[in-house]
Amino acid sequence: METREILHAIMQLPISKRMLIVEQTLKTIRESETQSKMLIAADALLEDYKNDKDLTAFTQLDYESFYEAR
């Protein structure tokens, strides 16, 4: 389906459904942008986390069983 066809089909919908399409489209764009930025940041920090043990000190606790204090 081409852009023109998509827009024509959207124009046939009631305003409430058209607004929903716009909102959902913007949401997916924001989520994609956020995910992309997070991947770039993770890649940029990967070497730091591999080489600086202070940054990963608390990961030793990841597999500890924690119990609520009574």
Report the pLDDT value the prediction gives residue 49, as an integer from 0 to 100.
Answer: 84
On whether the CB atoms of residues 25 and 33 are closer than 8 A, the answer is: no
Q: What is the pTM of this model?
A: 0.56
Give the tens place of pLDDT for each residue, 3-54: 999 999 999 999 999 999 999 999 999 999 999 999 999 999 899 888 888 8
CA distance 21 to 12: 13
Report the pLDDT value the prediction gives residue 50, as an integer from 0 to 100.
Answer: 86
Domain boundaries, the chain: 25-50
Residues 6+ apart with CB under 8 A from 1: 9
Report the pLDDT value the prediction gives residue 52, as an integer from 0 to 100.
Answer: 84
Closest C-alpha to 19, from 31, 11, 30: 11
